[in-house]
Amino acid sequence: MSGNRAFLIVMDSVGIGGAPDADRFFNGDTADTGANTVGHIAMAQPLSLPNLDRLGLGAAIHLASGLRAPGLGSEPQGLWGAATEISTGKDTPSGHWEIAGVPVPWEWHVFPKTVPAFPDKVTARICELAGTDGILANCHASGTQVIEDFGAEHIRTGWPICYTSVDSVLQIAAHEEHFGLDRLIALCRDLAPMLHGMRVGRVIARPFLGEAAGAFRRTPNRRDFAIAPPADTILDIAARAGRVTHAIGKIGDIFSHRGIAHLHKGKSDADLADHLLRLATDAEPGSLVFANFVEFDTNFGHRRDLPGYAAQLEWFDGVAGRLIDRLRPGDLAIFTADHGNDPSWTGTDHTRERVPVLGFGAGARAVGLVGFSDIGASIMKHLGLDPPQHGKSFL
């Protein structure tokens, strides 16, 4: 068995523009054409990312979108390129599944921008599982705004707050103490099979605390119940071959906990970084470490907080540098993303973009424009394992 280890790190929503089909994806009435998460941040304020740029981030942005991002002009010393998605969603499961070798073979079901947004049978099932006479919101909404708007009524009535977005998702917000965290998670878990049967990608539990508008805050105890991938991912292939697999952050939820030996969770990206750096030392020979860092997306992209997103990028650049310093000979680390979420863009939803492919451990090489699935195929080649159904190694 090869002793080579692989670290696949998804910087959630860190897109670099240039998706050729961005005109088919929208924030409100505005097409995503021209969105560029990292590029627009760099244009708006100074951005210091020495480790990622040394691997080839600036070069990848230019390759993907034609933009010369200010401050990101290092000569690449790592593996670098840009990946284009073929799945028809700009959401978390679509991006991660395709990276792992399984492009989404169907059109996701999304709920209409109407009030109510959910069909009567879904509402009735939620009420049945929650033991309530109704639900609140029942619309497209921002996750932070919806608890401001309905949190007090939720505490008074006990009705769950149910909302959606342009993604294929049904989210349920409820108070951890008044409604109960375990009760909320059980509600979402038991509702999920019905929604998955409708080709809705995820049911998400969104707990919060606070006693009045202005004081409500979401907690880190989110849980995603995602539909299972329809074919073997790189996690399945590695596990079946006897390799140890480690999932950091929400990777377990995204892949329905399939093919995962060890799950490492935390209350923040800082906690997840601690897991990643520890595993750089402790992970077994031949193992696969698959990580997602979500706060770029949840805390800054959706909230269109450009300075906050910039600060998170700079913090993560330091994590990447520390990881690289801990890797062993024969290790491969690939940094990528699952979609964009340009904080300079209109609206609050993801943006359709290409994503960076930045690697350490494969020498200095330009891999050009590749597919998302080529990332997973390359990880499998490095580990000496069979490739997934889709993708071609660029190693």
| 8 Å CB contact between 278 and 284 | no
| 8 Å CB contact between 89 and 201 | yes
Which H or E element spans position 26? strand 26-27
Distance set, CA 194 to CA 3, 115, 289, 386 (Å): 42, 21, 31, 34
* Binding-site residues for Mn(2+): 12, 297, 302, 338-339, 350
Rounded distance, CA 178 to CA 156, Å?
9
The residues near 99 (Cβ < 8 Å, ≥ 6 apart) are 8, 10, 83, 336, 338, 372, 373, 375, 376
Rounded distance, CA 286 to CA 131, Å?
48
Phi (first) and psi of residue 60, to 5 degrees: -65, -40
* Binding-site residues: 12, 297, 302, 338-339, 350
Rounded distance, CA 213 to CA 230, Å?
42
Length in residues, the chain: 395
Read out DSSP for 104-138?
Answer: --SPPP---SSSS-S-HHHHHHHHHHHT-S--EEE
Beta-bridge partners for 264? 248
Beta-strand relationship, 217-218 and 223-226:
unpaired
Rounded distance, CA 8 to CA 361, Å?
12
Residue type, 347: G
Rounded distance, CA 363 to CA 245, Å?
25
Measured from the Cβ of residue 286, the count of other Cβ atoms closer than 10 Å reads 20
Rounded distance, CA 246 to CA 301, Å?
27
